[in-house]
Amino acid sequence: MIYLDYAATTPLDPEVRAGMEQALENHGNPSSVHAFGRKARQLLEEGRERLAEALGCRPRELILTSGGSEADALALYGVALARGRGHLVSTQVEHSAVLLALRNLERLGFAVTLLAPDRYGLIYPEQVAEALRSDTLLVSLMTVNNELGTLYPVRAVAELCRARGVLFHTDAVQAFGTVPCRVEELGADLISIAAHKFYGPKGAGALYVRKGVELFPLVPGKQEQGYRGGTENLPAVYGMGLAAEKAVAVLPQESKRLLGLRERLEGHLLALPGVELNGHPTLRSPKHVNITAKGADGEGLLLNLDLLGVAASAGSACSSGSLEPSHVLLAIGRSREEAKASVRFSLGRFTTEAEVDQAARAFAEALRRSRDDGWRATEAAEGPGWR
């Protein structure tokens, strides 16, 4: 199998796996005062410090979480519930973790504005400025779109929000390890990340919280400065620190390599009839290639790709056995049929040129099969001569 779904999750780096073994061997609770607990605390804080160094922040500005979704929830609920009432601004193309949290906050009486993207999925600082109100508490804008790979003007929006006295959160889950994401580069007050997106273990993430920002804790407890109770996942946190350290170290050369692979894959795919690119042509993550194959059956396309040995994902999410259109693709103007006929390829550290070429050939065959299946299904339903 050729794995081209790095945007969904990345393989655990072998070096990270090896480094996690010492944390797995220590069964102490980091909150215990005996020798086992002190050793566990030492490893936990070492992992936190490595992550802080990679992000360019102080270790105490990091709240350890179970992943990106929890980090997003803590940022949104935490700010809103600490204030009690007010207005939040986000976009129609955010990850569902953000959108569902905002929907719940609306039910609690908060006002929410969701900005519409352009056809490339872009959001502009001017849109944010127009949406701000006197009671706006928080703006949440992702750093990189998880489906399209489109890059957002996070720094400009952060400066705008700071000038207006509004907190700014960015979901950098899809960005960290792929594009520069140090705190001073993003300028955000709150930043969400998840280890399994940068070759670390699943079940670990973090929320950067700028000193002085007040949050309401979602899980009360004594751990994580009172913001997130519960015994920390020591092996995963230690692995996250190792993975972050390596991701930042290899970023310059890896980003250049991925961009070359992305352009190679795009060249193959866009040469096929009826295949169009989704997302911005240049302001895009080096690992994302999202395409729409007009006239294809999306579910059949993915199934055939899998049978041909290529793992990719839909431009829409599978729910209850049916392919539901992606809210992101609908927001940028794709029809329901086009959204269902879309595929996201995402490249990573272990992707090779040979795999890209083979995946492109497999896609061409899967596309042929999918279109043939669609024609046969329509002919069966409408009778011969429907064309």
> What CA–CA distance (Å, rounded) separates 50 from 44?
10
The pair of three-digit structure tokens given for residue 230, joined into one six-digit string: 């519960």
DSSP state of 151: B
Indicate the length of the chain as a whole number.
387
d(C-alpha 232, C-alpha 224), whole Å: 9
Say whether 318 is catalytic. yes
d(CA 192, CA 172): 5
**Cα Rg of the chain (Å, integer):** 22
- Give the β-pairing of 322-323 and 318-319: antiparallel
> How far apart are the C-alpha atoms of 337 and 329, rounded to whole Å?
11
Q: Can you tell me the distance from the alpha carbon of 251 to that of 258, in angstroms, rounded to the nearest whole number?
A: 10
Set 57, 161, 181, 318: catalytic member: 318
- In 58-125 the beta strands, taken as DSSP E runs, fall at 62-65, 87-91, 111-115
- Residue 271's SS3 state is coil
Place of tokens 């049916």: 322
For the chain, the distance separating the N- and C-terminal CA atoms, rounded to the nearest angstrom, is: 37
CA angle 337, 281, 248 (to 5 degrees): 115
Amino acid identity at 2: I
Rounded to an integer, what distance in angstroms lies between the CA atom of residue 64 and that of residue 229?
10
* 71: nearest Cα among 192, 175, 186: 192
Question: What's phi and psi for 221, nearest 5 deg?
Answer: 165, 180
Q: Which residues are catalytic?
A: 318
